[in-house]
Structure 1
Amino acid sequence: QTIALIELLSREQNIVKQLCHLFEIPRSSYHYHLKHRGLVKPEREKLRQQAIAIHRDSRGSAGARTIAGQLNQLGENVGRYKAASLMRDAGLISNQPRKHRYKIANDES
């Protein structure tokens, strides 16, 4: 991530301004991310745990739309993009089962 790279490269206060300009990141955003990087948001963590449970119950086949729908049924207001973000944070990947394919029979007459 760019914020981590700027933090690594900058050990002086003057170079932060130049690096943020180089990477086209506002300095206020850089400092905001430094201040809030270790905070855990309990509401988001609860949603993430629910998404993990839904994904596990579907044996790994639930995607962002399914997870969003199930969370909405549970009373949470979650769209598919937020569900996709929760999946990304938890490292979940939808694994749909393959479609059944028929073998082509050899004509032995």
Structure 2
Amino acid sequence: MGERYLKKGYRSLNARQHQTIALIELLSREQNIVKQLCHLFEIPRSSYHYHLKHRGLVKPEREKLRQQAIAIHRDSRGSAGARTIAGQLNQLGENVGRYKAASLMRDTGLI
């Protein structure tokens, strides 16, 4: 029974919101059907337009954290994980938790 029904959180082939918005943008280029596509993928139109407006914005404080995370990872010869990076960023005076450090690592491609 469970295999037949999709779980509530699965929309747009279980993609994240930014991937879903990119798909809506791609599909809506052919025709002006943003309203229908947003309804189909259960994305509010305001979120769609907000994402398009702020897509290319670079936040300087986040970029600074990324550069610091890269330096910490490089200095550890690739052995520093999210917890180590978060701890060292906290020692440098930045208020960063391990999940934000993991996000920074994901953004910069650090493993």
TM-score by shorter chain over 0.5: yes
TM-score by length of 2: 0.79
Q: Which ranges of structure 1 fall in alignment gaps of 5 or more residues?
A: 93-109
Distance (whole Å) between structure 2 residues aligned to residue 80 and residue 13 of structure 1: 43
Give a deviation string over 1:2-34, Cα, whole Å, max 9, x none: 111100100378511111111111111100010
For normalisation by structure 1, the TM-score amounts to 0.80
Give distance in 2, aligned partners of 1:75 and 1:13: 50
2:34 alignment counterpart: 16
CA offset at residue 43 of structure 1?
0.2
Q: Any stretches of 5+ residues in structure 2 without a counterpart? A: 1-18
1:37-83 CA-partner distances (Å, limit 9, x unpaired): 01100000000000000000011111111100000000000001100
CA distance in 2, matches of 1:38, 1:14: 23
Instruction: Answer with 4-13 or 63-72: which moved more.
Output: 4-13
Which residue number corresponds to residue 88 of structure 1?
106
Name the stretch that deviates more: 74-83 or 13-22. 13-22
Query: Partners of 1:86 and 1:13 in 2: how far apart?
Result: 36
The alignment covers a number of residue pairs equal to 92
Q: Which has the larger radius of gyration?
A: 1
CA–CA distance in 2 between the matches of 1:23 and 1:60?
A: 39
Give the alignment's Cα RMSD to 1 decimal.
Answer: 1.3
Moved over 6 A (4+): none
Identity of matched residues, % = 99
CA distance in 1, matches of 2:32, 2:22: 17
